[in-house]
Structure 1
């Protein structure tokens, strides 16, 4: 009897799903041949193949009838409307193959056995074939409508997106691919086909303006009013429907500045009233503001120096230091009231030693004690006895240990006190404790008041980045319904150590105070979560069967929960999401890119053993950018392997260079901007040309009124990159592509702490900043110009310049004529001196002391080895120089010594390479023999003339 009831219930569900419908496109009633029991198979029964679960012949005829439906479905065969018997067969196909073999002899129509057997070989493939066939029929049927529903006929990809009716359909709509047209056409198709009524369609947008545009375009396309909602308007509607009234909104809801000010005020209040929290906050700024590695994580000096510079290690006293360990030491000294000098000139004059002037790491001004921090760790001796000191992979161990010993001897010789600290002490977790022990007998600690230190942090502008981090964390914490305990467990799992614990120790009271100040009001996160709860519980009955979500890449966890709850209320409800994970740039507002990346798992249907049935449509074609921009932007964004790979079909071919960098003098970028705009004016050939100036931060905005007066033929506008979403222009100029905290990429946004309130972290460095750069690049139709400091270009600019596949064109400047630094592998940059001469200094000026004079003949260029001639040739005047036999980038100049004339390296005393006069004359004579064979214009040695 129980088995019969189960069978009847299953067939009742089939009848309900496939019974007569008021909609003309709904499938006809589906009636099984048999209503006998023994239909539903439990997984355990299927596994054990118990005799009582065996199918009889009639059941296979029922499956055959379902296959007839699948062969020519009256509507898209989504998982949610496919006959349940097909899903069951797909789930237990191994068992059914055996059952079919058992009863095959009793089935008169052998074609039945063949069709069922073919289906059981690959049920998923069979349903996909049915989908493809159905789409082809619908494409032909609706061709006229899809040609004229928008101002331009829809592309092939757009048409397939509109006609796809899977449980969950994700449309990957890249920049300029016409996503709004797809949503408009989708809603119009649902109405005109009779699939849905207007009240059953739910268009969702993130902003009121976008929602209004959607509603207007949909209503115009189908001559029927359709209401579009923002998430917050929908949530408020649900709450009012259930509660009968709308709760008051928090004053900061929707106002980012007010929200940030509130978090900043709460933080300051806690520092002033809670000593324990105040100490943790100060610890954060003096010890844990950044996630820092060590020299041992890098193979080259250039890589390590680049990393350190990106950290912007500025101490509480205000100086930039060379390592995270020096940063810790300097801040400990400051907090404990010990006045110091960083890298002062040693107080005694040293004899000529072939070294630059000696500058110890620290000098304590009151006691006169010197501090040296040595970058050495302990390791087992290779001979198996005891330990030895080792250096980072890129450091010459023997030379470094000799340098340590030399410094010790200097202090011993002049009877100055030297205190030493070591990298292995940090590795052992006792650097500051060891420092306190060593300084104990010599200094008196006078701890500065916490309020004083906090004010110093505010004065240095460091509080803003921490406030932003707290605010972003709070939004995602609430939106994802996280708990502090869960975050702490995840921090331990991710080995965040004391940094993770310190952040959560501050966040906990900030969050509690934030909730207290809300009082009876609600913020947007409360609003959406409360509405989702009402939908989950059934207190609100949703009329919506088709949910269309715009800009899906910006969805947050609370919004995703609301969408999921609405879809779950109806077995045949669908979600149609349009977005581009390459443009997910609102993490600070709670957006969670992982929801889009796991779209099928979040919203997909079920068919057989498949739990994440979805349809993904890649629009591909951009109607905006030419090939050299569109393809370069694609290559750039896909450096992050977590981004969903998409096809890009450009809007056209560029006639000339479309992507270039213009080098700027960091202090005065205005001149280069004006030159760039002048070039774009010429490119426009007298026509009005649109130019969009973009920057990572609003403070990079130039004087637009003054610029506009100089270039009347240019339609100029300025936006932050976040504010430019949805905009386009003929030309885009990206300002401030420099290295630094407020550069691009910004150094204040991608904090690993945020991974505690995200299903999974984004381990790829600058993941969101890379997406922001993609958004900036893809606003342009014809050209993109990046303005970057020649002294401190950002890592994005370095990448674009160094990889020839991007096809980047460069203006004249330092990176266009790359002069390598022999000491660290960076670049030597021209720096004008007060006397008018030019010196070349390493780009890592804080970390690397290498500098070189310019060419001895012209005083401007830098002699480098010419690729064509293999000789040392000035980049400016072409004069040839004699290479130094000892170093790789120096050259020999004539000098006068105690024992007569000789040729010595230009880099003396760092390099002692030299040659005798006779040796140089022999070289010149050898070159002179072949001088008559030189082509016109080739420079002769030592003349600098052509």
Structure 2
């Protein structure tokens, strides 16, 4: 309880206590600064007199009065059971002391009201765009004034000389940060009106409303998301011109950055042509780095030739690798790597489906020291062991007895040792003879028994190994023991012979390329080899990564020594040294406005360089134009997350969207936008096309013959063109480029050009033809897997499958103004093509009866691997359907004898998948072959087509009756 003496005390009467038991506070103490309320002699609540509002109402009842006191926060305090004669005295006392207390309270803030008003006036009267950070700083500094400024009695309490500040401050606190947002909206409108003539004429076409608004917004950090063909370069020019015209900056204070020399040159020429203003600095990041180093060191740095010639750098690394391979301590390291760590090992029992397992095999291209592609890591290990020990072998050679028939292929044991007549079978089973879940265990175990019986019957020696032996680490030891027991002589190849073989197979050159890529990524990330070793150690596949890192370490040292010896630097040094000089203030920037083109290609190191430059100038501004939908250079270290999470990396930003494209029509735009937005991590944008057409503008031509596809597409284009038209032929990889010189002569109206999808960025044409749309390592999307070392160094921000490839396909689609032609093998169509067909995209499925073209895509999924599709093939026994994933998936199905469509198994029968065909065939319960109705001496009977009177590999199953009605009922 307070030790102060109250200035007034009131206690309700005994009668009120008896008859008005609902009254909560029977005792009230009024002090000079507060009201204390008591219940049963215990203090329940203190209310500061500062909290009281303007009004205290007296409500008279039959016996007592009730006081209703308005509080500052809008609530009310009700005090009942007040003696009518004393109510006025109580109110007067409360009002008197509350006025004194509130007056004293407000007077303590009056000078701060003045300062807050003057500070916000400075911001507003600059007549410029108010940065959100400035507004937030004001609120952070003066937020404590909100309560006194908005006090209901403020007008009566404040001194006259300070009253003029209150309305503006009340408006500010009432609107909060939206006050500055509203101001900026009005400011932008004013600027657009003032500079209308400039924005109308700075480019050949007037800038759009969104382009203009983006140009005049002047947050500290500005991001313009510019979709394909929306005029990003025009916006960069408009922004640069506006800064000068509006007297926001001098040309010497403006830095414009591009990623390539051509882009920087184009920007510089565009600025000179459109603005006719000298003094802008237009640079690539590398040339800026070079300028900074020159300014600090006083001499122009010499650039190593390898910096500008990737092939030269790879050649240098290959030469260093060849020299190192002659060293006694390095030789066993690289041999060990190629034998044991060139491919990542995954236990086949970890996979849940054959498709997932096949993807692992396909992605890692398991190739032996002898050069064969094998179907398992364990087979690769066995093959390499045999090769290393000088034991001649053949992989999957035909067994010397022909076992083929209409419904099964010829037996091909895993390995055959021709010098000894020994066969080796590696079985994918565990200690209990169980197979991985994606293998039909019953059939597999039966096949194992059949193979053993076959070798026993023909007295061919068979050595067996098993997957569980690899897991236990004894696979090669067991194999070695069995080979020795079988009389096989070991004549190990010398290290030099093994390295010679690796060179001849091109594996050393491929490894040199990997190390060259790793070198670039390591240096661009400003990491040391020791840091790379730490990262490798922390990885789950650390043994493999550390084996590669040990080989890389002396290569890196040799490269750095070469730079030192030649007194040269590379492009990564150019950026790294420049950042060091900026951050250490050895270089002082004069740039207050930095404009960055193609910002989606930014890397962490370049972003760091920008931040360092911005830090050196107070109130500096960053203006970036880019499109996360077109981020396609992750393999060089670009990090699209810097664009997608722009404010996280830089700070509060004004984000604008250019959503009107002047390049492609609405039908191309609809397909491209829907396609790229399947990845929910892409920034959502609604791109509108200036040009509208009614017909679909993306066509699919199905053929395995690229030349036929190109000819057909050009013929279709030629028929549409009256005078001339440009045609861009795009491929995913350089080695897929077709020869087009003959086509140029054949189609004189068409201006043909060919390039990769990456190379087409920034280009456009009337028509686009896209090749390479098949599945696989060199398909589109490319299913080529990176080495773990590269993956570890690259930004890993995309969880969506084929995210980068999806953006690349978007880039390819949006190069066209009028029409896009997709050429794909219908029997091996890429996932992207299947998505376009199966997900109801508005495209044209082109049909023609010309040779080499397919009427439809393979659309029956393989029941075994679930990732391939059944494709029609021919054999000596007639047509059949095999999985498109062959040879990794060997599943086959019989073709319909009537219409050649695929057959589908339904219980005891196979039925034609063609709904218009009634063909059915019974399945042999013995060998899973086909039963056929035959006529014998005693009438008709059903027998297996795998019956051979002159062969031991024959199925003799027969039956007299088959209920074909059951087959028809299962189909219909």
Aligned equivalent of 2:436: 392
Taking a change above 3 Å as real, the CA distance of residues 371 and 194 of structure 1, as seen in their structure-2 partners, is same
> CA 1:427–1:78 in structure 2 vs 1: closer, same or farther (change >3 Å)?
farther
Q: Structure 2 CA distance, aligned partners of 1:883 and 1:97?
A: 87
Aligned position for 2:382: 329
Cα displacement (A) at 1:827: 2.0
CA distance in 2, matches of 1:467, 1:96: 67
Residues 469-516 of structure 1: CA deviation (Å, up to 9, x unaligned)? 322222221122112233233334442322221222222111111111
The CA deviation string for residues 761-797 of structure 1, in whole angstroms up to 9 with x for no partner, is 5454444333332222221222222323344433433
CA contact (8 A) 2:600 2:643 kept: yes
Query: What is the aligned partner in structure 1 of residue 850 from structure 2?
Result: none
For residue 516 of structure 1, what is the aligned residue in structure 2?
Answer: 561
What's the CA shift string for 1:60-102, capped at 9, x where partnerless?
443344445566762111256558443445xxx5x77678799
1:880 aligns with 2:918: yes
SS in structure 2 opposite 1:314? coil
Is 2:572 the partner of 1:525? yes
Q: Are 1:140 and 2:179 matched, yes or no? A: no
Matches for 1:696-845 after TM superposition, within 5 Å: 696-748=732-784, 750-758=786-794, 760=796, 762-805=798-841, 807=843, 809=845, 811=847, 813=854, 816=857, 818-825=859-866, 826-833=868-875, 838-845=879-886
CA distance 1:861–1:350, shift in 2 (3 Å) = closer
Residues 278/654 of structure 1: CA separation in 2 closer, same or farther (3 Å cut): farther
Number of the residue aligned with 2:373: 320
Alignment partner, residue 490 of structure 1: 535
Once the 2 structures are TM-superposed, how far is the Cα of residue 679 of structure 1 from its aligned partner?
Answer: 2.2
* Offset of residue 695 of structure 1: 1.3
Compute the displacement of 1:241 (Å). 1.7
Q: Counterparts of 1:442-841 in structure 2 under 5 Å?
A: 442=486, 443-463=488-508, 465-518=510-563, 519=565, 520-602=567-649, 604=650, 612-665=651-704, 668-682=705-719, 684-748=720-784, 750-758=786-794, 760=796, 762-805=798-841, 807=843, 809=845, 811=847, 813=854, 816=857, 818-825=859-866, 826-833=868-875, 838-841=879-882
Show the counterpart of 1:155: 208
- 1:874-919 per-residue CA deviation (whole Å, 9 max, x = no partner) reads 69xx6531254689x9986534578753456779999999975674
Name the CA distance, whole Å, in 2 between partners of 1:456 and 1:326: 19
TM score, norm. by length of structure 1:
0.79
Please state whether the residue corresponding to 1:901 is helix, strand or coil.
strand
Relative to structure 1, the CA distance from residue 624 to residue 433 in structure 2 (aligned partners, 3 Å threshold; closer, same or farther) is farther
Task: Give yes or no for contact 2:758–2:808 (8 Å, CA) kept in 1.
Answer: yes
Change (3 A) 1:86 1:448: farther
The answer for the alignment partner of 1:266 in structure 2 is 320
**Who is 1:11 aligned against?**
none
Cα deviation code 1:585-605 (max 9, x no counterpart): 334444343433443333x2x
Q: In terms of mean alpha carbon deviation, does 511-520 or 620-629 score higher?
A: 620-629
User: Is contact 1:631-1:650 (8 Å) kept?
Assistant: no
CA distance in 2, matches of 1:197, 1:447: 75
Aligned to 1:250: 304
Return the offset for 1:194: 0.3
Equivalent residues of 2:921, 2:931 under 8 A apart: yes
Instruction: Please tell me whether residue 361 in structure 1 is matched to residue 414 in structure 2.
Output: yes
CA distance in 2 between counterparts of 1:652 and 1:269 reads 60
Residue 350 and residue 113 in structure 1: after superposition, are their counterparts in 2 closer, same or farther (change >3 A)? same
User: Highest relative contact order (Cα 8 Å, sep 6+), 1 or 2?
Assistant: 1
Name the CA distance, whole Å, in 2 between partners of 1:806 and 1:913.
52
Structure 1 Cα separation of the partners of residues 612 and 250 of structure 2? 21
Asked if the contact 1:872–1:880 (Cα under 8 Å) also holds between the matched residues in 2, the reply is: yes
Matched, 1:202 2:243: no
CA contact (8 A) 2:827 2:858 kept: no
- Cα gap change, 1:369 to 1:923, in 2 (>3 Å): closer
- Shift in Å, 1:169: 1.2
Partner residue, 2:290: 236
Q: Deviations over 1:429-462 (max 9, x none)?
A: 6544554455454444443344444444444444
Equivalent residue for 1:9?
none
> Residues 202 and 228 of structure 1 are in contact (CA less than 8 Å); yes or no, is this contact kept in structure 2?
yes
The aligned counterpart of 1:32 is none
CA drift at 1:290: 4.9
Q: Pick closer, same or farther for the CA change 1:86–1:343 going to 2, 3 Å.
A: same
Q: Deviations along 1:215-251, whole A, 9 cap, x unmatched?
A: 2222333331134122222222222222221122101
Per the TM alignment, residue 200 of structure 1 is displaced from its structure 2 partner at its CA by 0.4
**8 Å CA contact retained: 1:167, 1:614:** yes
- Post-superposition offset of 1:754: 2.4
Residue 732 of structure 1 aligns to a residue whose secondary structure is: strand
**Aligned 8 A contact 1:884 1:914 in 2:** no
Residue 526 of structure 2 aligns to a residue in which SS?
Answer: coil
Question: Which residue number corresponds to residue 59 of structure 1?
Answer: 112
Question: In structure 2, how many angstroms separate the alpha carbons of the residues matched to 1:787 and 1:814?
Answer: 13
Q: How does 1:56-95 map to 2 (within 5 A)?
A: 56-68=109-121, 74-79=127-132, 82=135, 84-89=137-142
Q: Secondary structure at the match of 2:712?
A: helix
Instruction: Name which of structure 1's ranges 366-375 and 479-488 shifts more when overlaid on structure 2.
Output: 366-375
Answer whether contact 1:567 1:574 (CA < 8 A) is retained.
yes
| Kept in 2: contact 1:627–1:650 (CA 8 A) | yes
1:618 alignment partner, SS class? strand
Corresponding residue of 2:241: 188
Q: Alpha carbons of 1:833 and 1:725: their partners in 2 closer, same or farther (altered >3 Å)? A: same
The 3 A distance-change label for structure 1 pair 140 and 879 is: same
Report the alpha carbon displacement of residue 728 of structure 1 after superposing the two structures with TM. 0.9
Q: What is the CA–CA distance in structure 2 between the aligned matches of 1:390 and 1:127, rounded to whole Å?
A: 71
Structure 1 residue 923, shift from structure 2 partner? 8.8
Distance in 2 between residues matched to 1:752 and 1:112, nearest whole Å: 65
Change in 2 beyond 3 A, CA 1:69/1:906? farther
- Name the stretch that deviates more: 635-644 or 188-197: 635-644
Pair 74,101 (structure 1): closer, same or farther in 2 beyond 3 Å: closer
Q: Are the structure 2 counterparts of residues 70 and 430 from structure 1 closer, same or farther at C-alpha, using a change threshold of 3 Å?
A: farther
Whether the aligned pair in 1 keeps the contact of 2:637 and 2:794 (CA below 8 Å) is no
Distance change >3 Å, CA 594–CA 824, structure 1 → 2: closer
Structure-2 residue corresponding to 1:340: 393
Indicate conservation of the 8 Å contact 2:696/2:842, yes or no.
no
SS in 2 for 1:880: coil
**Does the C-alpha gap of structure 1 residues 339 and 656 become closer, same or farther in structure 2, counting only changes over 3 Å?**
farther
Would you say the 8 A contact 1:553–1:596 is kept in 2?
yes
Matched residue, 2:897: 856
| TM-score, length of structure 2 as denominator length | 0.77
Equivalent residue, structure 1, for 2:99: none
Q: Deviations over 1:685-722 (max 9, x none)?
A: 44322211111222222222111122222221111222
Taking only aligned residues, the RMSD between alpha carbons, in angstroms, comes to 4.1
Cα gap change, 1:302/1:541 in structure 2, threshold over 3 Å: closer, same or farther? closer
Deviation at 1:189, TM superposition (A): 0.4
Inter-CA distance 338–173: structure 2 relative to 1 (3 Å threshold): farther
